[in-house]
Amino acid sequence: MRITMVGAGYVGLVSGACFADFGHEVVCVDKDPARVEALRAGEIPIFEPGLEEIVATNAQAGRLSFSTDLAGAVPGADAVFIAVGTPSRRGDGFADLSYVYGAAREIAAALEGYTVVVTKSTVPVGTGDEVDRIIREERPQAEFSVVSNPEFLREGAAIEDFKRPDRILIGAEDERGARLVAELYRPLYLNAAPVLTTGRRTAELTKYAANAFLALKITFINEIADLCEQVGADVQDVARGIGLDNRIGRKFLHAGPGYGGSCFPKDTLALARTAQNHGSPLRLVETVVAVNEQRRTTMARKILAACGGSVRGKRIAILGLTFKPNTDDMREAPALAIIRALQDAGAAIQAFDPEGMENARALLDDVEYAKDAYACAQGAEALVLMTEWDSFRALDLRRIKAAMAGNVVVDLRNVYRPQDMARHGFAYTGVGRAG
């Protein structure tokens, strides 16, 4: 089948490449000519394991192409996916849908024959209705369906998530549209991926509800971690103890500096604002947003306390900048707020991240970037492990200790065992651990 993907950002590029790998003919359309030219040259603008290979393979096979011409890519397409950004709107936190609605108008002008318009972007309840209205207003005689097909892709594991999903969610108001979108995913039936077909509004809300619930789990274990420190318990054991209950599950129960990235911050805020707007406030979600925002300040204070109450004039090494491993995404990364707080307190920052330093340079001032973890530790009076990259999990602790001017280590991801760090002469602080 022929697919047009409007937007060649994270979701659009991953989804388009994976659909092409299924054998579909895919055109990814983006308004940024530089991005399109780079993609045509085989340059991938984001770091996602396996993406470069899958793009190259399908582009070479002629199944995946890139264009700036939306009007030329829509006619003849069986499905046109809207995969543009929905950032938080300045001032009120609602999702900015201007890109979605702009895409809908451009699609409407180019429609020829029956086409399914699919919202892949994360959008508030009722957005599909408005997309439908816009297209009907622009092209009253057009033959089309509007379907919601939310993505559930984890950065760092997106290709695996697309090809072996927990579920495929299709929100449609007519059977014809639902059937066509289900057919696009037919190759996944061999993996027994469950297909859940719902109404369009239900699908839109399900995406937000899923992200909010995961954000709630992260925030919950972070608050339990704070309590563990006060009562002499270990949050990792608590997390194991509750996570082995299959009603709760073990995932997203890792205490740390709070959630970040492109989804959870904006989606929890957008869901809270949507609920308020409909007179049905979600107090739990509102609290999650507030607690996570405060979490960065709490972590900065933890580092200050570990350094004796002051970092003025001290050199602090930061290992990891991205909000999670296996991505170069710095959006809403906890490291941003924590580093700025340390700088405000008078610290000099040196940092290393395997993939995120180029993006970090555009967001952080007065940071010295190192070539590797050991160079980052050189001369530092304290080292903060911010992101749990695999390459940070088995550091040569003797070499790290020899490189540092001090011995303070603050492990915001609980990668190391306190007893091992003590044996190597470090003054170690974790999260949710007594002492």
The residues that are catalytic are 263
- Please enumerate in sequence order all residues whose Cβ is within 8 A of that of 429, keeping only pairs 6 or more positions apart, or say none: 302, 305, 306, 408, 409, 410, 411
Contact 323, 387 (CB under 8 A): yes
Instruction: Return the amino acid letter for 68.
Output: T
CB-based contacts of 263, cutoff 8 Å, min separation 6:
122, 211
Torsion of CA 209, 215, 218, 224, to 10 degrees: -80
Q: Around 102, how many Cα atoms within 13 Å sit in the side-chain half-sphere?
A: 13
Tell me which residue has tokens 């967001």.
363
What is the distance in angstroms between the CA of the first residue and the CA of the last residue of the chain? 60
Tokens of 362: 């555009």
Order of strands, sheet of 367-369, starting from the edge strand that comes earlier in the sequence: 367-369, 348-352, 315-319, 382-385, 408-411, 427-429
- Classify the phi-psi angles of 6: left when phi > 0, otherwise alpha if psi is within -120 to 50, otherwise beta: beta
